[in-house]
Structure formats: C-alpha cells, structure tokens
Amino acid sequence: MSGVKNRSLPGKPDIVLPKHQTVVFVHGCFWHGHTDCPHFRLPKSRRAWWKAKILGNQLRDARNEQQLRELGWHVVTIWECALKNASARLWLESRIPRLLGDHPPAETATAMVAEDPTPYRTGKP
C-alpha cells in the first residue's frame, strides 16, 4: 500500500499510515456533530438547516468509514475536543500505540479516541 495518497481514499483522511494500514480523521466537534460534547451546539438561527447540514456530514463520514473498512483500512477518528488541552492530549497520546496495534479492519478506534469523553472533560488521563 505504499504510495497511497490521502486524496485517493474515501473521505480524504487527514493522515494515512500505510505501514499500519490505518487512516486518521481529525473531526471538528461542531461540523461533524460530536454528540454530548460541549463544543457542539446548534446555532439558534436556521436550526433545521444546520441539523440537516450536520446530519449530512455524519452520513457522509459513516459512508466513507464503511468504504475504508471494506478496503481493509483501520479507521481512527480523533475529535477536536480530544486536542483542546494538555490533559486531553496526554490521554490521547497514551492510547496511540493501542490505536496503531494489530486490529481487524472492522474494529473501530472511534470509541477509544472519541466517544469516551470522561478523561478529557475532567482532565483525568
């Protein structure tokens, strides 16, 4: 898989690690609708439009992730809020070796990085 370019893969991943057969997306909490996140609040105006826009982004993200898995890639999603402060970054850094380990392609790293908000919201790594 050497020579793989981000632009040639579904969703244009932010980082491609061919050696680990892993792609990494860094998602903004607002634009990708990170639920139960303090960085995700719908604007007060045009709420229906924003809901549709963000839902469309989420559906596209899910479609791209599924396509990447079908191609044999391991998909990691890192949310913006996991990078906001030092304790959040430490928490994330401690999990990087696990994220790059041997995973079956169907396994998702999203839960490990993005959906366990407690460590980076409370500041406890």
Count other Cβ atoms within 10 Å, centred on residue 102: 8
Give 74-84 pLDDT, tens digit per residue: 998 888 888 88
Alpha-carbon distance of 57 to 86, in angstroms, equals: 28
pTM beyond 0.85, yes or no? no
For residue 110, pLDDT over 50 is answered with no
The strands making up 74-79's β-sheet, listed across from edge to edge, are 15-17, 22-27, 74-79
Structure tokens at 23: 């792609």
**CATH assignment of 6-122, given 3.30.70.270, 3.40.30.10, 3.90.420.10, 3.40.960.10?**
3.40.960.10
Residue 71, helix vs strand vs coil: coil
- Confidence at 94, pLDDT banded by 50, 70, 90: confident
Domain boundaries along the sequence of the chain = 6-122
3-state secondary structure 72-97: CCEEEEEEHHHHCCHHHHHHHHHHHH
